[in-house]
Amino acid sequence: MLGDQRSKMSLKKIVKKNLNDTKTVKVTQLTESKIVNGRFSIIAESVNLHSKIQTTKFFNKLFVESKNLVDMGISTNIINEDLIMVLKGLMGDENSQVIDVLKDRLITYLESKLDMDTFEKEVLKQSIMELDEDEFPQVFSDKRFLARIITDTFIREFGEKYLDGLTDMTKELLMNRIDNEDFKRELEDKFTTALDSLLDSIESNMDSKLKGIRDSVLS
């Protein structure tokens, strides 16, 4: 009898703890969501996607702010969910083709920033255009996400464009050279390094501008 009472008390404590933990998680998620939504909304405020200068500044800020939020320990799921909502509202209509417009602008932006040959630029364009709507925010929140997509597209497009006309045996030999984990990892690392260098350059330029403003105010 006493054992049954203790078991019931233990079960109540477990249930109570789980309820408290769930409540804490929900409060944390709500707080994080407010932070993310607020910061992205400021960046997106009054941006003109038809202006190359404004679009460049917009993507610069999105990359840097997403990195800062991740570094703060905020869930990437929350970052992605709030970012897609903010982006959809850029043209004042959540059912508009804003993500398609952003894809096109992002391709132009990255082509101008990254040192890529003609084939790599084609792969970049194909990779971004094939992204699902809910995948688009991951370009900013996960530094390896786009590199992984580009790598997969690179291998697929290479096989389709450069192996046509070869014998099946030669095709298989060449594809075995590139469609393996070692080559994929090497290619993904290359594109990740390129994107990391871009982010470092953006942050450095922003720091320089802030320093210039600070120096002019204090002088």
Per residue in 39-51, pLDDT tens?
Answer: 999 999 888 888 9
Quote the CA–CA distance of 79 and 137 in Å, as a whole number: 8
The most distant pair of C-alpha atoms in the chain lies apart, rounded to whole Å, by: 82
C-alpha separations of 110 from 105, 127, 199 in Å? 9, 12, 11
Tally of CB atoms within 10 A around 12: 10
DSSP category for residue 133: G
Task: Tell the burial category of 10 from Cβ atoms under 10 Å away from its Cβ (0-12, 13-18, 19+).
Answer: exposed
> Which tens digits make up the pLDDT trace of 187-215?
999 999 999 999 888 988 876 655 454 44
Q: What per-residue confidence (pLDDT) applies to 93?
A: 56
C-alpha separations of 75 from 25, 38, 81, 103, 135 in Å? 11, 15, 10, 24, 15
What pLDDT tens digit does each residue of the chain (219 aa) get? 545 555 555 656 655 555 554 545 555 678 889 999 999 999 998 888 889 999 999 999 999 999 999 999 999 999 999 999 999 888 665 556 889 999 999 999 999 999 899 999 999 999 999 999 999 999 999 989 999 999 999 999 988 888 888 888 888 888 888 888 999 999 999 999 999 999 888 988 876 655 454 444 444
Full residue range of the structural domain in which residue 195 is found: 2-218
CA 205 to chain CA mean position, Å: 21
Quote the CA–CA distance of 125 and 144 in Å, as a whole number: 17
Tally of CB atoms within 10 A around 105: 17
DSSP string for 58-110: HHHHHHHHHHHHHHTT--HHHHHHHHHHHHHTTTT-TTSSHHHHHHHHHHHHH
CA 208 to chain CA mean position, Å: 25
Cβ atoms of residues 146 and 123 within 8 Å: no
Looking at the structure of the chain, the number of domains it has is 1
Q: What per-residue confidence (pLDDT) applies to 11?
A: 59
Tally of CB atoms within 10 A around 162: 12
Q: What per-residue confidence (pLDDT) applies to 141?
A: 93
Q: Please give the backbone phi and psi of residue 47, each rounded to the nearest 5 degrees, phi first.
A: -70, 140
